[in-house]
Structure 1
Amino acid sequence: MARRAFVALAGVVVALAVGALVMQSGLWVDIVGVGGYETGTVTVTDSDNATPCTAPPNRTAVSACDGSRTLATVDVRIAANYSQRYTGLSDTESLGPDEGMLFVHGEEDVQTYVMRDMDFALDIIYIDANRTITTIHHAPPPPEGERYSERYSGRAKYVLEVNRGWANRTGVGVGDTVELPDGVE
């Protein structure tokens, strides 16, 4: 009887250890999957008084605008659930100059991102619940042979990732206002 109890307890301990490893390593995302990404249009303006700009017709895009003048357009996938946010762009080999990802969190808080398994550099743009850009990081990929980079934090409900240099090239900066896609809360 004592032997059965010991074997059962050992089985539970092994199962918990394996579960902890799967959760910590991110393998659970491979098992569960991330699901399909929605798409939408995001617009960035540099003034509360500016006339909002729009994406070109029939495009799913992020637009940066100076008043009503469009500075840039970036097609985005929306990472709206935990597994999509966890995976992020780590399964992406590269982004075109007009591609990115918008991460949507349940509430505004200090969000911390890492460049997990990334092969290319990004601008990480933090946007608060009032849809104002609070922080921009220009993040390199992790050092050769490492899975993670340093941590990048900012107060945000939404985080936009685009190719590194996009914010500088377009003139997007802290304090700019962001218009989110329909249906994104």
Structure 2
Amino acid sequence: MQRRLAVGIAVAAVAVAVVFGAATVLPGLWVDVVGVGDYEEGTVTIHDNTTPETATPIPCDRSPNATEVVACSDSRQLATVTVNISDTGRQRYVGLSETASLGPDEGMLFVHESEETHTYVMRNMSFPLDIIFVAENGTITTIHHAPTPPDGEQYSERYSGYGKYVLEVNRGWTNRTGVAVGDRVELPAEVA
């Protein structure tokens, strides 16, 4: 009886070790097992990059609760987006793939440890996105208009850009708001 119990415990221990070993090797499985945790919320505001000679500079005032990302410059405010802040590896891996849709001025802000070239894919996405790369100083460096992956495929093409931050919003949002490369983004205080 004791021998059967010992063998059963050993088999269970090996099974648990195999599952968690695979989970650490396969990031997607690890995310499924552990989850992504809670997202902080914030607001991003974007201002254009033009400074007309007659314009009165508009400062990049942070919202009182620092929950918005703001795009700004010495000119006019273009847009404000309410975001979930994705600042862990697991949150960045999952991204918006478990989100059914976004409101017109909602998005996700990805925060990386360093400013460099980052690459994104549309993993298991059910709606298209604008993918906006933002340098550490808040300048938009690259904008991609990314469609959903083709039917039957889990991934789309790769979208690369230079920056420390990546803002994902509904596809066409940058066209609708006039946001362009070179515009300036004000980030929530906790990530800037």
Q: TM-score range by the shorter chain?
A: 0.7 to 0.9
Structure 1 residues 60 and 159, CA gap change in structure 2 (3 angstroms): same
Match of 1:19 in 2: 21
Match of 1:149 in 2: 156
Q: Which has the larger radius of gyration?
A: 2
Q: Per-residue CA shift, 1:7-47, capped at 9, x if unaligned?
A: xxxx79x939x834764360110111111101122221223
Q: Which amino acid aligns with 2:156?
A: S
| 1:56 Cα offset (Å) | 7.2
On the 8 A contact 2:71/2:184 being kept in 1, the answer is no
| 1:57 Cα offset (Å) | 6.9
Match of 1:51 in 2: 58
What is the SS of the residue equivalent to 1:75?
strand
Match of 1:35 in 2: 37
TM-score normalised to the size of structure 2? 0.79
Q: Percent identity?
A: 63
Match of 2:87 in 1: 80
| 1:130 Cα offset (Å) | 1.6
Q: Which amino acid aligns with 1:34?
A: V
On the 8 A contact 1:48/1:177 being kept in 2, the answer is no
| 1:62 Cα offset (Å) | 3.5
**Which consecutive unaligned segments of at least 5 residues does structure 2 have?**
1-13, 52-56
What is the SS of the residue equivalent to 1:41?
strand
Give distance in 2, aligned partners of 1:69 and 1:128: 20
| 1:58 Cα offset (Å) | 6.6
**Which consecutive unaligned segments of at least 5 residues does structure 1 have?**
1-10
Q: Which amino acid aligns with 1:136?
A: I
TM-score normalised to the size of structure 1? 0.82
* 1:183 pairs with 2:190: yes
| 1:55 Cα offset (Å) | 7.2
Deviates most, 34-43 or 144-153: 34-43
Two-structure CA RMSD over aligned residues (Å): 2.8
What is the SS of the residue equivalent to 1:44?
strand
Q: Which amino acid aligns with 1:80?
A: D
* 1:101 pairs with 2:128: no
Give distance in 2, aligned partners of 1:67 and 1:51: 6
On the 8 A contact 1:45/1:52 being kept in 2, the answer is no
